[in-house]
Structure 1
């Protein structure tokens, strides 16, 4: 038994299970290197092929990754260990969470008449009134509403789509930097991430083309309010991306329009291009950013094949989204006071985002964000900036968990950053960068 590696076993299955336990229990941590195949084989008294098979299974399950000459290491967010953000230190202003301003969220009041328990929800999984509201929601922005269904959240929906469409080892094109939970989810499903660089207008066409040439069978992107970069797909960029995708009609394109009502800007969806649009597609919308973070409800518009595959798998698992939850969403979506609150939120988020961008620019600092709740600031040393701002009373998110090959940066959530506070934060940011430069030079 190779106790120094916290791994034991005589078969590939036993070795993989032992390594998984070590990761789950924290004896092997993210970034820790596993021993070379031959070294572990010698220590366990098994063949190198047995260890290689164990490592292959661990890679397939998203527990480890292989870094070429860097060997095999525990994944940054292994599928058997939940990676949660660090606790916000007491007394700091929290700008790291990515959450909306609670002041703009309506009170969540469950319906007075609860759904009867003894009926077949599987036979009628969607409330007709909410289904029609969802169709109108998509139709408002030109998204085809012929096929609509529900899920429990954006990631729940994406996970189901990828699991029914792709096989272990297939590649998924994702934004870089991108939503960290999606970057964790893809390898947890046994899939590979194909990083696609982004700018203010969304995915870069040449980067998407490279991902497709590398074999990506699905693309997941945010058309606006991209997290963490704040991109919004422009009309010109939409045409460029459609031209790239035209040669790959079998690729599933998933748009996560998670902040549809508070993103700050129009939607230029790939799905609105009619016959020129992707043949396989889905657009996902949630209400957590404008109605309540505890409302785990998602609406999805999609093509007929995607609908059948998604709903077929859901029927075999959770079956349906709670009708009590659906009734709560109906009440909020039809409430005039809530509509006014959502509109005010969208205006405030735009003002706060633009205020921070402008304040940073006055100190020679470039921030990226043309929509959404976050501002991405490229920096040379993430840790130095996070710690420096912490000493000034601010808590921001280091960018390492949001990126694959993109350069370092920090993410600042501006949802509840009042406009006057932007100048104070920007001045503190400037001092932190000056201190960092004097420490490290240049």
Structure 2
């Protein structure tokens, strides 16, 4: 754990209370030591946290400096604190530490039936946060603090800062083929909040039904729409994305699509199907919510433009930094049709008074400098190598699995042969130390072939090979000796 330098400067920071009744109280230095000792044991003072200088703490407590010095010396001798000449006095123990400087034994992690702890996690959505371009981001932070007028740090309207609107419009029009106007851009805290704002606005305008792809994520649009009182209807997905003929029968007021790389199957909606979706939206006065979640990562195909560029009056384009930079930024953006932008901005303002101005300005500078493009150029070959390692391992160890959606993104779906039950394979894999998810949990209609979702963004090529080897053993476990021999 990195050392934390907080350098508290007041007695109140340590919550030390002294009983000054000399007839019954312990000596003051023992009271100070006991209070700090309890704070360390309870985890209120974390490992590496810096304590106030002795003079500062003594002044805050109204005692002589010698009282605090004696308390600190006692805690250093016990192993709770560490101190060096000219440096900070810091907490030496971690939460739950023992007085001899050791750690209490942590409970063992649960093991599967085979006695294996989880070692390889193919979970989807775990972007490799270790690759975040910290130095470039820091340069943009410094630029923001050096050059931004003071008034920019005040409250703004619900759409966000103009600098980011312009930078995003320039980037998205150039790279994603959108028809973006800075005036119609709303900044949000990721896709989850963006779709929540849209659902609120649609429900207030009388919408009754939201269509979603089937399968589709179960942790954003679907529960949010249901909570807002909208009916949610699943539209089956084929090899090339949503089946538009089923959408046309659904009597929906809006649809959520991932047309450039359907989640999770990886299909790409054809030009003819896109035109048909737009005609459906125009005819019904409906809204298309385009989730462009990972279009920047492509390996074996030409870029596919956004639907929003075809009909900006009927499509809300949603993008996010979660898959391209890090989820912790909580930065997302929407290109909203003119007739909805004011309502969406008001909903954003009511939700949280607006996203962080400093982060927005930093990202605007990061985009304008070309750092975002450079980061994506660095990451594409990294993710491609991991994808290639996954495909090679599947081909070598489990050739009966059929991968799909491999040309882009950060995950692959592999369809199972009919003799393998999806749930049984997932459970057997966990017992072999491999964590992954099946497609079934993301279906509204339970019917459909079994499939496994392999997220590979955070795994090394060696870990991927080890994970597929463990999965192959799990498949053998499911089939049993006779199936394995066959």
Q: Give the alignment's TM-score, normalised by structure 2.
A: 0.64
* C-alpha distance 118-217 of structure 1, shift in aligned 2 (>3 A): closer
2: CA distance, partners of 1:341 / 1:198: 32
What residue is the counterpart of 2:436 in the other structure? 396
Quick one: which of 228, 244, 248 aligns to 2:264? 228
Quick one: which of 117, 131, 141 aligns to 1:111? 141
What residue is the counterpart of 1:102 in the other structure? 129
Task: Quote how far apart the aligned CAs of 1:279 are.
Answer: 4.1
Does the 8 Å CA contact 1:365/1:430 hold for their aligned counterparts? no
Does the 8 Å CA contact 1:96/1:395 hold for their aligned counterparts? yes
What are structure 2's unaligned runs of at least 5 residues?
A: 1-108, 112-116
Equivalent position SS for 2:402:
coil
* C-alpha distance 352-226 of structure 1, shift in aligned 2 (>3 A): farther
Q: Does 1:416 align with 2:443?
A: no
Does the 8 Å CA contact 1:125/1:321 hold for their aligned counterparts? no
What are structure 1's unaligned runs of at least 5 residues?
A: 1-86
Quick one: which of 172, 188, 194 aligns to 2:210? 172
2: CA distance, partners of 1:420 / 1:352: 9
1: CA distance, partners of 2:463 / 2:173: 38
Does the 8 Å CA contact 2:281/2:288 hold for their aligned counterparts? no
Task: Quote how far apart the aligned CAs of 1:336 are.
Answer: 4.9
State the Cα RMSD in Å. 3.2
2: CA distance, partners of 1:201 / 1:366: 16
Q: Give the alignment's TM-score, normalised by structure 1.
A: 0.69
Does the 8 Å CA contact 1:180/1:402 hold for their aligned counterparts? yes
* C-alpha distance 240-438 of structure 1, shift in aligned 2 (>3 A): farther
What residue is the counterpart of 2:240 in the other structure? 201
* C-alpha distance 428-120 of structure 1, shift in aligned 2 (>3 A): closer
* C-alpha distance 375-440 of structure 1, shift in aligned 2 (>3 A): farther
* C-alpha distance 127-169 of structure 1, shift in aligned 2 (>3 A): closer
* C-alpha distance 438-326 of structure 1, shift in aligned 2 (>3 A): same
* C-alpha distance 317-96 of structure 1, shift in aligned 2 (>3 A): closer
Per-residue CA deviations over 1:324-345 (Å, capped at 9, x if unaligned) read 1112312432455553332121
Q: Count matched residues.
A: 349
Does the 8 Å CA contact 1:177/1:228 hold for their aligned counterparts? yes
Equivalent position SS for 1:317:
helix
What residue is the counterpart of 2:363 in the other structure? 329
Does the 8 Å CA contact 1:171/1:217 hold for their aligned counterparts? yes
Q: Which range moves more in the overlay, 282-291 or 414-423?
A: 414-423
Q: Does 1:192 align with 2:192?
A: no
Quick one: which of 215, 218, 238 aligns to 2:274? 238
Which of the pair has more CA radius of gyration? 2
2: CA distance, partners of 1:326 / 1:429: 42
Does the 8 Å CA contact 1:383/1:398 hold for their aligned counterparts? yes
Task: Quote how far apart the aligned CAs of 1:404 are.
Answer: 1.2
Does the 8 Å CA contact 1:225/1:373 hold for their aligned counterparts? no
* C-alpha distance 133-172 of structure 1, shift in aligned 2 (>3 A): same
Quick one: which of 311, 317, 340 aligns to 1:306? 340
Quick one: which of 179, 184, 192 aligns to 1:155? 192
What residue is the counterpart of 1:269 in the other structure? 306
